[in-house]
């Protein structure tokens, strides 16, 4: 485990002294000095937080702990004010503003450095002195280089000199950064965020400010809402969640008794539910870990102060990414996993609570933001592949499982017919019902659908009401229908709620066009999204988000293809949760549903890896005892010869809603079509129950 020593404290004291001197200096020209003064102010605010969090009274409480709620709100606002609303337009955190003030060559770089300084906010709350010190020293090294250059030449240092400072910072401290987040992940039952959940007075919303994230009305209201729910309701939420986690191991034939660490991921404000979840997992011999980090694999977050800020800086690695750095990062991550090898093998997998209901976000593609070159794109994709292969040595994916469940946040109230707290409470209760539907009922109906699909050679999917979908989906051929099946009967385990049958389609022969008029994927809206497949691989794509076609293509490539040139059709599924679909229509929130629920409200297609990614060789059975044989495709089969070509490390579901679905038919060997859905209704005998919510 990392330890802080006296030498580190001395470095911190020196850095603090120097940072506090900067506002009184004036040795650089106007805009440049204004930048360094602003960045120093960010650090000074973090210094203030660190001091509040480390100054203890006689009872062991910190000065931060005893702040009033109003004082917490004021401090939190001060830390994030420059990202809120119009203030962001004149903040150096905004690369467009930084370029306007500091020039095209240097502005993007300085904005990225500014973002690194803002990372200190959370480290200050956690009192992680090593991570604070290295960022303070990075800032002072850059400031010093500029002072020296201006004193000697009257100009900024050469751009490459400044880039090198950032490059070596990222390289030198790659292992420290990795260790910081892996420690929290691999040592369950302890850690900063874990202690917030288990030790705080959750009836006092001051605990929310301990995270150091921006705390909006969403986090405050959802915390108060959960605090006011009956214990029985909170137990139902948590029990469904943890039981799904347990059942996931059974469904995938993974021995949970050999594991002892569940990785919890949740939105800030849901701590009451998470405390119960921790207690539930403890009862089955699994402790919980939670990671709080401003850079890396944080497992908790708030809605945030400004989503455009995050979008603007998503490619900041372009400023230092090259082949040597990718190699260095891979070595650093492996060194940490090797150090914690005994802990890594006990990692069971993530248990995830997702939020939904945020306001619509239309990202702006700013030319001033850092962007990966084509070469860097390929390099990063290659790095992700190599990293996942390496991680699999220490945390074998076929020995882990997961579960995911979603709940709304108060921001969705603005979209509900009843725009009051009562309206939100009613909608929240309906989502609880959706998440706890009778899985036995769905299991039987879905088996009826699977029995038909198992006799088919391919499926035909066509849209209606303006939907241009026309897909031919090739299916596996069964060798022994009495023992084998093509589709998985998915009930409430890893993906809550219930409601889908899915398969890995055969790529060769899978052709056609997938179209949706509007869909939300990972919080981003896509309008008129159209993807064409040729032998199961993406051939062309388009959308209507931007006026310029090249911007549309780039938007899809970055956020759906995850920078790959193409992706396979990794999954074909039929969603059966008509209750969720009807609920969304009743409340008018179709565009707010998360993928997790939306994928159950119609047939969907996932681009990327299959649902059995890296676990294709694990035998899986349906409740009827038949083995699911469609666990791979011709791309994932490449794992046997070249792992780097087998996986894309992404999986994005795209759903066609029932009212845009003209027909979904199973096509038999003789060409006969057996319709499962026609004109947006289930027509296969034995599935009539699914139409009741639609009526």
- Digit-coded pLDDT (tens) for 161-213: 999 999 999 999 999 999 998 999 999 999 999 999 999 999 999 999 999 99
| pLDDT on residue 669 | 96
pLDDT at 490: 86
- For the record, the structure tokens of 114 come out as 């500014």
pLDDT digits (tens, 9 = 90+) for 232-246: 999 999 999 999 999
Tens digit of pLDDT for each residue in 498-544?
Answer: 999 999 999 999 999 999 998 888 878 899 999 999 999 999 999 99
pLDDT of residue 222: 97
| 659 neighbors 677 (Cβ within 8 angstroms) | no
Confidence label for 103 from pLDDT (cuts 50, 70 and 90)? very high
- Tell me the percentage of the chain whose pLDDT exceeds 70: 99
Q: In angstroms, how far is the first alpha carbon of the chain from the final one?
A: 59
Beta-sheet strands, E only, within 221-303? 261-267, 287-289, 300-301
The pLDDT, as a whole number, for residue 619 is 87
pLDDT at 492 over 70: no
Burial readout 176-199 (b: 16 or more C-beta within 10 A, e: otherwise): ebbbbbbbbbbbbeebbbbebbbe
- Whole-number pLDDT of residue 252: 80
Q: Contact 349/262 with Cβ under 8 angstroms?
A: yes
User: Is it the case that residue 58 has pLDDT exceeding 90?
Assistant: no
Question: What mean pLDDT comes out for the span 574-591?
Answer: 93
Encode pLDDT of 246-284 as tens digits: 998 988 888 999 999 999 999 999 999 999 999 999 999
- The band of 4, judged by pLDDT with boundaries at 50, 70 and 90, is confident
Do 69 and 206 contact (CB within 8 A), yes or no?
A: yes
The pLDDT assigned to 294 comes to: 66
Phi and psi of 7, rounded to 5°? -65, -40
Nearest to 310 by CA among 320, 326, 295: 295
59 pLDDT band, cuts 50/70/90, is confident
φ and ψ of 627, to 5 deg: -80, 135
Query: What's the confidence (pLDDT) of residue 268?
Result: 98
- How far apart CA 692 and CA 523 sit, in angstroms, is 30
Q: How far is CA 53 from CA 47, 127, 213, 214, in A?
A: 10, 7, 15, 17
Domain ranges of the chain: 6-169, 183-406, 437-694
User: What's the pLDDT band for 491 if we cut at 50, 70, 90?
Assistant: confident
**pTM here?**
0.90
Please compute the mean of the pLDDT values over residues 289-312 and round it to a whole number.
Answer: 90
Q: Please, are residues 620 and 627 in contact by the beta-carbon 8 Å criterion?
A: yes
Task: Please name the residue ranges forming H helices in 228-270.
Answer: 231-251
Instruction: Summarize the confidence of residues 467-484 as an average pLDDT.
Output: 96
Confidence band (pLDDT; 50, 70, 90) for 655? Answer: very high
When pLDDT is cut at 50, 70 and 90, the band that residue 615 belongs to is: confident
Cα 172 from Cα 164, distance rounded (Å): 12
Q: Mean pLDDT across the chain, nearest whole number?
A: 94
Give the DSSP H or E segment for 573.
strand 569-575
Longest CA pairwise span in the chain (Å): 84
pLDDT at 60: 81
User: How is residue 627 written in tokens?
Assistant: 């083995």
Helix (H) / strand (E) containing 678 = strand 673-678
Q: Give the count of beta carbons closer than 10 Å to the beta carbon of residue 17.
A: 9
Alpha-carbon distance 656 to 602, whole Å?
Answer: 6
Does residue 164 have a cis peptide bond before it, meaning omega lies within 30 degrees of 0?
Answer: no
Whether 295 has a pLDDT exceeding 90, the answer reads: no
What is the Cα 31 distance to its own chain's centre? 37
Query: Hey, which residues does 515 pair with through a beta bridge?
Result: 530
Whether 401 and 352 have beta carbons less than 8 Å apart is answered as no
Contact 49, 42 (CB under 8 A): no
For the segment 421-463, what is each residue's pLDDT rounded down to a tens digit?
A: 999 999 999 999 999 998 889 999 999 999 999 999 999 999 9
Q: CB–CB of 425/224 below 8 Å?
A: no
Question: In terms of DSSP bridges, do strands 300-301 and 261-267 run parallel, antiparallel, or are they unpaired?
Answer: parallel
Mean pLDDT over 595-604 rounds to 90
Q: Are 301 and 268 in contact (CB under 8 A)?
A: yes
């Amino acid at each position: 485990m990392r330890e802080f020593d006296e030498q580190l404290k001395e470095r911190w004291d020196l850095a603090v002294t120097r940072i506090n001197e900067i506002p009184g200096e004036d040795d650089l020209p106007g805009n440049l000095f204004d930048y360094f003064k602003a960045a120093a102010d960010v650090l000074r605010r973090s210094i203030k937080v660190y001091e509040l969090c480390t100054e203890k009274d006689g009872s062991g409480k910190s000065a931060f702990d005893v702040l009033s709620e109003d004082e917490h709100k004021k401090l939190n606002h001060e830390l994030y004010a420059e990202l809120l609303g119009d203030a962001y337009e004149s903040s150096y955190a905004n690369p467009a503003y930084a370029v306007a003030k500091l020039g095209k060559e240097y502005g993007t770089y300085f904005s990225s450095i500014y973002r690194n300084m803002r990372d200190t906010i959370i480290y200050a709350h956690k009192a992680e002195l090593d991570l604070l010190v290295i960022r303070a020293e990075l800032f002072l090294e850059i400031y010093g280089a500029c002072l020296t250059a201006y004193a000697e030449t009257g100009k900024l240092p050469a751009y490459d000199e400044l880039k090198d400072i950032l490059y070596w910072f990222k390289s030198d401290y790659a292992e420290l950064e990795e260790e910081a987040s892996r420690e929290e992940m691999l040592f369950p039952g302890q850690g900063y965020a874990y202690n917030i959940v288990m030790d705080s007075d959750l009836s006092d919303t001051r605990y929310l400010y301990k995270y150091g994230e921006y705390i909006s009305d969403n986090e405050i209201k959802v915390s108060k809402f959960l605090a006011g729910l009956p214990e029985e309701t909170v137990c139902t939420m948590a029990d469904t969640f943890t039981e799904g986690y347990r059942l996931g191991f059974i469904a995938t034939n993974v021995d949970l008794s050999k594991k002892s660490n569940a990785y919890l991921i949740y939105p800030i404000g849901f701590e009451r539910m998470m405390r119960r979840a921790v207690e539930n997992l403890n009862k089955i011999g699994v402790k919980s870990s939670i990671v709080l980090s401003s850079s890396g694999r944080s497992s908790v977050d708030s809605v945030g102060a400004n989503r455009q800020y995050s979008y603007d800086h998503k490619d900041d690695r372009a400023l230092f990414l090259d082949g040597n750095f990718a190699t260095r990062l891979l070595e650093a991550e492996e060194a940490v996993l090797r150090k914690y090898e005994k802990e890594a093998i006990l990692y069971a997998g993530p248990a995830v609570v997702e939020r939904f209901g945020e306001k619509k976000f239309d990202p702006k593609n700013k030319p001033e933001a850092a962007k990966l070159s084509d070469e860097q794109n390929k390099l990063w994709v290659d790095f992700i592949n190599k990293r996942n292969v390496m991680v699999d040595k220490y945390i074998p994916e076929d020995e882990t499982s997961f579960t995911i469940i979603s709940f709304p946040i108060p921001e969705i109230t603005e979209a509900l017919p009843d725009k009051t707290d009562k309206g939100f409470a009613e909608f929240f209760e309906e989502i609880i019902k959706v998440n706890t539907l009778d899985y036995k009922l769905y299991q039987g109906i879905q088996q009826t659908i699977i029995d038909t699909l198992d006799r088919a050679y391919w499926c035909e999917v066509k849209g209606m009401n303006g939907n241009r979908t026309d897909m031919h989906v090739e299916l596996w051929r069964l060798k022994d229908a009495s023992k084998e099946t093509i589709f998985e009967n998915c009930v409430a385990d890893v993906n809550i709620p219930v409601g889908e049958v899915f398969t890995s389609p055969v790529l060769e022969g899978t052709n056609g066009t997938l179209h949706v008029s509007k869909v939300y994927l990972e919080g981003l809206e896509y309008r008129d999204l159209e993807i064409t497949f040729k032998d199961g691989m993406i051939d062309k794509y388009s959308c209507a988000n931007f006026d310029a076609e090249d911007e549309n293509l780039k938007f899809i490539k970055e956020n759906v293809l995850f920078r790959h040139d193409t992706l396979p059709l990794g999954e074909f599924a039929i969603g059966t949760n008509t209750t969720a679909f009807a609920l969304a229509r009743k409340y008018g929130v179709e565009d707010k549903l998360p993928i997790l629920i939306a994928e159950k409200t119609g047939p969907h297609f996932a681009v990327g890896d299959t649902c059995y990614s890296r676990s294709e060789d694990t035998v899986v059975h349906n409740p009827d005892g038949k083995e699911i044989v469609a666990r791979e495709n011709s791309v994932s089969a490449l794992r046997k010869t070249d792992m780097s070509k087998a996986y894309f490390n992404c999986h994005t579901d795209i759903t066609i809603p029932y009212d845009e679905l003209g027909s979904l038919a199973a096509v038999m060997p003789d060409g006969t079509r057996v319709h499962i859905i026609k004109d947006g209704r289930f027509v296969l005998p034995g599935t009539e129950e699914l139409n009741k919510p639609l009526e």
